[in-house]
Amino acid sequence: MSLAATSPRVFLITGCASGIGRHLAERAAAAGHQLLATDIHVEELLKQSGRFGGQSTRLKMAQLDVCDAVAWQAMIDQVMQTWGRIDVLLNVAGVVLPGNVHEITPERMLAHLDVNARGTMLGTQAAARQMVRQGAGHIVNIASLAGIAPIPGIASYTASKFAVRGFSLAVAHELRPHGVSVSCVCPDAVETPMLELQMSYEAAALTFSAPRFLSVEDVGRVIFDRVLPRRPLEVLIPRHRGWLAKLTSLFPWTEGWLLPGMVRGGRKRQAEYRARKGRVS
């Protein structure tokens, strides 16, 4: 049964100014749920108000730096003061800054750990404390197939998503006895501004190796129609690419065989994607 068919719930979603976060916020609002939509880019977030149904008692919007523990607690406090509970946290906010590790700055490398890993961990902790008090709740953390199989060219992004996945799977077992579920969602490359950002970086060619890119609608369907109703521990999108990632993670030496062909295919699709975007712009 779809979550949309259940009684309204209270959502807190990060990264709502664009991409996956914006689409999930649109779906939550359209389904009649109460929603606190957040993003660090507050000006861009406020422009999305119409997509989320406009100003109403069901919608709040706020700036959130996911790296700030104090700001996270303020978001939880705002949700509690407004609606009296928090049912679902969707940790979506993230960054990818492509480049080989020997060619990028330390700041560029560590930004992934700050936003992707630290931000997810702080959000999970803040929401979990309230959900444990309630005796119920669901936390959904967006990792990546790059959190299962290492991806050269975005090594620090890979490290951050490995951290998100490991943290999510471990904390799920901590919180289950308290009635709180944690799900880790690992999508392949999704056509969002984060993918577009990588199109000009040769180092990121492997990101483009999938036969097709996922859409935000693909991810939204999985989360709303499968993850939220069923509360699985982990979901791979798509499954066949997910199991390939698990195989290379189990036998890391196989990547040496697979990578050359995947990189060649990725470079071709990266060039096609770049050309397509050039025609659109």
Q: What is the rounded distance in angstroms from the CA atom of residue 122 to the CA atom of residue 105?
A: 25
Q: Give residue 3's pLDDT.
A: 45
Q: What is the mean pLDDT of residues 32-36?
A: 97
Q: What is the mean pLDDT of residues 105-114?
A: 96
User: Each residue of 147-172: pLDDT tens digit?
Assistant: 999 999 999 999 999 999 999 999 99
Band of the pLDDT at 5, cuts 50, 70, 90? very low
> Distance between terminal CA atoms of the chain?
40
Q: Which of 11, 83, 157, 208 is catalytic?
A: 157
Percentage of the chain modeled with pLDDT above 70: 97
Nearest to 139 by CA among 187, 182, 86: 182
Q: Give residue 4's pLDDT.
A: 42
Q: Which residues contact 169 (CB under 8 A, 6 or more apart)?
A: 184, 233, 234
Q: What is the mean pLDDT of residues 183-195?
A: 96
Is 273 designated active site?
A: no
**In this model, does residue 56 exceed pLDDT 90?**
no
CA separation, residue 72 to residues 46, 119, 120, 129 (Å) = 19, 9, 10, 12
Q: Give residue 1's pLDDT.
A: 36
List the 10-13 sheet strands across, edge first.
Answer: 59-63, 34-39, 10-13, 88-91, 137-142, 180-187, 234-237
**In this model, does residue 19 exceed pLDDT 70?**
yes
Domains in the chain, number: 1
Write the CATH number for 148: 3.40.50.720
Q: Give residue 280's pLDDT.
A: 62
Residue-range definition of the domain harbouring residue 236: 3-280
The reported pTM is: 0.94
